[in-house]
Amino acid sequence: MSVLFKQDAFLIVFKFKFVKIIISGGIIMSADVELQNISVTFGSFYAAKNVNVKIKQGEFFSFLGPSGCGKTTLLRAISGFLDPSEGKVLIGGEDMAGIGPNKRPTSLIFQNLALFPLMSVADNIAFSLEVRGKSKNERRKRADELLELIALSGQGDKKVHELSGGQRQRVAIARALAIEPEVLLLDEPLSALDLKLRQKMRTELRAIQKRVGITFIYITHDQGEALTMSDRVAVMNEGELEQVGLCDDVYDYPNTPFVATFVGENNPFYAKVVSVDNNEVKVESQGNTFLATAGKINENQNHSFSPGDEVIMFIRPESIFIKNDNNKLDNFFSAKVNTIEFEGNLKNIYVKINSNIDVRFSVPNAVDTSELSSNKDVELTFSSKKAVVLPKGQLAVD
């Protein structure tokens, strides 16, 4: 049984595991994607190892991690360009084993976009429809519908070189949508754009995804892209999933030291546990005693610690403040100013504890820091609720 309702220009039909979205007569379907115990090996090397994750239909999901961590390997396994050594890829509940890339309900956008320079924009978008034997009128109608979707109405007769980088990016998205995929795969499509254009395209790409409603699986090493656009992110390291969760959960409650230092900036304090009271952990580091919160193993369970355990306490730069009468939190420490870096909207202030521990904190540019100078002593404070204690492990900067 199907459930139908209208919302703005869309007619949405929910049916079993699929979502059908009808736009001006064309139908785009969405499907969930599940990776079950996926491993990919090249000889004795694991490019991906025992990956388990379920991506919901209609979700914007990002695989985030450094170069060589296995992100693109997983994308190729989903698209069918690479067969996993172990495990299953399910799309809409169907096992994709033995189904080639051209038969899967997926479409892939590469880093270089691969648009045809001698074709018009409309012909680029409709190229896959021509291969499938659609008439010229059908192809042009579909191209015009997609041009309207990506806010490029009337641009179909232009050549690709007449478009800006951001417009070409949108054309690549429209071309991928022309075949009405259930899942759109994007392999670092913004990496070649300059910073301002990347930031603009983040917003546009997310807006397009919301309008068409299909499942987007996005590959990136840029945490800003992942956190800005995604419903959920999976952080990868050396072929394995370190953490999967909502963006703010991954940022505020990292499960591992790698996630804590790869997603956003963080200050690691190597410490020993003094005492534990439920999820509040007292630690000693460099002669200072701090209260902090036990990090999570997963969204339902915190790490367990005992007195004497060697741990790392993490506190983000934006959670450290200059201590004053109006700003007294439950942790404080003394430090000596080293340098101040101006970053437009922020000032990054680097200090040292006991002459050998580097700590960074950030303040808005509007905050007066004229009293701070090199070698000046400063009292700093932070909340135990913003400090996370995790077992010792690999940092992303190692």
pLDDT tens digits, one per residue of 163-214: 888 888 888 888 888 888 899 999 988 877 777 878 888 888 888 888 888 9
**Residue span of the structural domain in which 320 resides:** 267-391
- The CA distance from 79 to 193, in Å, is 24
DSSP, collapsed to helix, strand or coil, labels residue 392 as coil
> Which residues of the chain register pLDDT less than 50?
1-27
* Phi and psi, residue 4, nearest 5°: -120, 145
Same domain, 105 and 220: yes
Element (H, E) at 261: helix 257-262
Residue 26 confidence (pLDDT): 45
Same domain, 105 and 77: yes
Say what the pTM is: 0.85
Same domain, 217 and 274: no
Pairing of strands 215-220, 60-64: parallel
Closest residue by Cα to residue 8 from 177, 213, 211, 216: 211
Same domain, 187 and 289: no
Residue that is last in its domain, among 250, 278, 303:
250
Cα dihedral 243→244→246→248 (10° resolution)? 10
Radius of gyration, alpha carbons of the chain: 25
Residue 205 confidence (pLDDT): 85
Residue 215 confidence (pLDDT): 95
Same domain, 43 and 141: yes
In a domain, residue 17? The reply is no
Q: Which amino acid is at 180?
A: E
Question: To 5 degrees, how large is the angle CA 283–CA 278–CA 359?
Answer: 30
Same domain, 94 and 164: yes
Same domain, 98 and 222: yes
CATH of the domain at 355: 2.40.50.140
Q: For 14-43, how does the pLDDT look when each residue is reduced to its tens digit (9 = 90+)? A: 333 333 444 444 445 788 999 999 999 999
82 forms beta bridges with: none
Residue 28 confidence (pLDDT): 55
- Burial of 315 from C-beta contacts in 10 A (0-12 / 13-18 / 19+): buried
In a domain, residue 18? The reply is no
Same domain, 233 and 356: no
Report how many domains make up the chain. 2
DSSP, collapsed to helix, strand or coil, labels residue 149 as helix
Same domain, 40 and 170: yes
Residue 310 confidence (pLDDT): 96
Name, in order, each residue with C-beta under 8 angstroms of 247's C-beta and a sequence gap of 6 or more: 226, 227, 230, 231, 232, 233
